[in-house]
Amino acid sequence: MANVTAESRPAAWKTLLAFGIIYFVWGSTFLAIRIGVHEVPPLLFAAMRFGTAGLALLLWTVAKRERMPVGKQWLTLAVLAAMIFLCDYGLLFWAEQRVPSGIAAVMLATIPAFMALSEIIFLRTQKLTLRLAIALLIGIGGVAVLMSRSLNLGGAPIEHKGAVALLVAAVTWSIASALPKMMPVPESKSVSSAMQMLIGGVMLLAVSGGAGEFGRFHPAAVSRGVWWALIYLIVAGSIIGFTAYVWLLHHESPTKVGTYAYVNPVVAVLVGYFLGGEALDARIVVGAAFVLVSVIVITTSKGKKPETVPAVTARDAA
Tens of pLDDT, residues 275-299: 999 999 999 999 999 999 998 888 8
pLDDT tens profile 6-30: 447 788 899 999 999 999 999 999 9
82: in domain: yes
265: in domain: yes
* Number of Cβ atoms within 10 Å of the Cβ of 230: 21
1: in domain: no
What is the span of the domain harbouring residue 226? 12-308
Q: Which of 116, 115, 99 is nearest to 107 (CA)?
A: 99
2: in domain: no
Mean pLDDT to the nearest integer, 252-264? 84
Q: How confident is the model at residue 308 (pLDDT cuts 50, 70, 90)?
A: very low
Q: Is 189 helix (H, G, I), strand (E, B) or coil?
A: helix
pLDDT at 301 > cutoff 80: no
pTM for the full model?
0.90
313: in domain: no
5: in domain: no
pLDDT at 171 > cutoff 60: yes
Count of domains in the chain?
Answer: 1
Distances (CA, A) of 42 to 94, 151, 230: 5, 31, 12
pLDDT tens profile 179-231: 887 889 888 888 999 999 999 999 999 999 999 999 999 999 999 999 999 99
Q: Which of 143, 157, 82, 149 is nearest to 114 (CA)?
A: 143
| Amino acid 307: pLDDT | 44
Beta strands in the chain (DSSP E): none
262: in domain: yes
Helix, strand, coil percentages, rounded to 5, for the chain: 70, 0, 30
Q: How confident is the model at residue 36 (pLDDT cuts 50, 70, 90)?
A: very high
3: in domain: no
